[in-house]
Structure 1
Amino acid sequence: MVTNVEDTNALRALIDLLNDEDADVQQTASVQLAESGKAAVPLLIDALSDSRWRVRYLAAWALG
């Protein structure tokens, strides 16, 4: 797994994967976001107001 992702497009793609139908994909995306460092924080905070509950939940988890 890649850590410390700083590419905003890659981080946004991971945010979208939080709502994937596959629970393993959701979990992998949330772990990757949690390990991505400071670059992911603004996107995760924005995801807390997403209309999809699963995205909000996993974003909160990734923020710690």
Structure 2
Amino acid sequence: MTPDDFYSPEVRETSADAKALLYDATKLSTIRQVYKTSAIVKFHGDFSNHMAENRKMLARVDFDF
């Protein structure tokens, strides 16, 4: 016997729908996380390139004190 045996077919159907919805929400949240992560990685890459450009420019400047 499983816990589902104690519920009516309607309740079992609803619980299956709820499980499916929960699964979809989990998938969406994972996709959202991936997008967030890739945006952070892209920003970090752009920022690193920007800093590298700045270092190159600073290296070209002759400091006269």
Structure index of larger Rg: 2
- What TM-score does the superposition give when structure 2 sets the normalisation length? 0.25
Structure with more helix by fraction: 2
Structure number with higher relative contact order (C-alpha < 8 Å, ≥ 6 residues apart):
1
The TM-score normalised by the length of structure 1 is 0.26
